[in-house]
Amino acid sequence: MVVEIKKVGVIGAGQMGNGIAHVCAVAGFDVWLNDISVDRVQSGLASINGNMARQVSKGLITEDERTAALDRLKPAESMDELADVDLVIESAVENEQIKRKIFAQLCPLLKPEAILATNTSSISITRLAATTDRPERFIGIHFMNPVPLMELVELVRGIATEDETFEASKVFTRKLGKTTAVAEDFPAFMVNRILLPMINEAIYTLYEGVGSVEAIDTAMKLGANHPMGPLQLADFIGLDTCLSIMQVLYEGLADSKYRPCPLLVKYVEAGWLGRKTQRGFYDYRGETPVPTR
């Protein structure tokens, strides 16, 4: 039987998680947002409020729609509050051990028919599903960043994912106004399998002194008509996330073309992770971003 999804839990109130909660609430779902601390949940809800206000000012949603959506959003201070939801989307940091820990805590609390989804951008759905009590009701629903603006969702079935789970997830993403692309469960799926090696190659181009940060980004914006240069995009994604996806590709496919660039590793070791830490390939502490190399 195909479950009708009405109540949604989102675990992780960061940029991706609050974006997912935002689009679910606007689309009419009741949403519970959870994170490891109440402060993080409150900060996620504050971001959603601000982003919805921006949508109202741009005429994308009405003030009434914003108020109604905010009413449908509830903080879940503990995972116990997700006991009655039909779908839980995990959107924690891109770290397999952390995700496994979340599922171990969460599964005993959920009703048996609830669907469990992960927003992982690269980790094996089959492997994550196997750590849960419901591999047949487990699926990858991978949103793009920023979630309210980006139209695509990658749907990824694990080897055990049942048709009912897949169909219910398709209906759900359609209700969010998103377009789905179905990807097979191989490292980094489709978008990041293509995008991250390009970003990694841009970092190699910088590392080898072929061009400066500014020259590389200008070249790809004006030469390949990309809306954002690859290094600027890396900073936006987060250099730690870029590195972890490249590591998943390198380990999962054992091909040297996926070797993370040593310069990317160095930036991550320095804690220069891009916009979220104010420094990456650009320094964001002043009025305008300045290249750091």
Catalytic residue of the set 154, 169, 200, 244? 154
Catalytic residue of the set 18, 34, 91, 121? 121
The verdict on whether 95 is a catalytic residue reads: no
What is the crossing angle of helices 213-223 and 230-237, to 10°? 110
Q: How far apart are the C-alpha atoms of 168 and 142, rounded to whole Å?
A: 15
The verdict on whether 169 is a catalytic residue reads: no
The verdict on whether 154 is a catalytic residue reads: yes
With tokens 């196997």, the residue in question is: 130
Q: Closest Cα to residue 70, out of 88, 50, 92, 87? A: 50
The verdict on whether 192 is a catalytic residue reads: yes
For residue 179 the two structure tokens come to 């377009």
Catalytic residue of the set 34, 47, 122, 192? 192
Catalytic residue of the set 119, 124, 142, 169? 142
In the chain, % helix, strand, coil (3-state, to 5) comes to 50, 15, 35
Say if residues 41 and 33 touch (Cβ distance below 8 Å): yes
Write out the DSSP string of 41-79.
HHHHHHHHHHHHHHHHHTTSS-HHHHHHHHHHEEE-SSG
Q: Where in the sequence numbering do the catalytic residues fall?
A: 121, 142, 154, 192
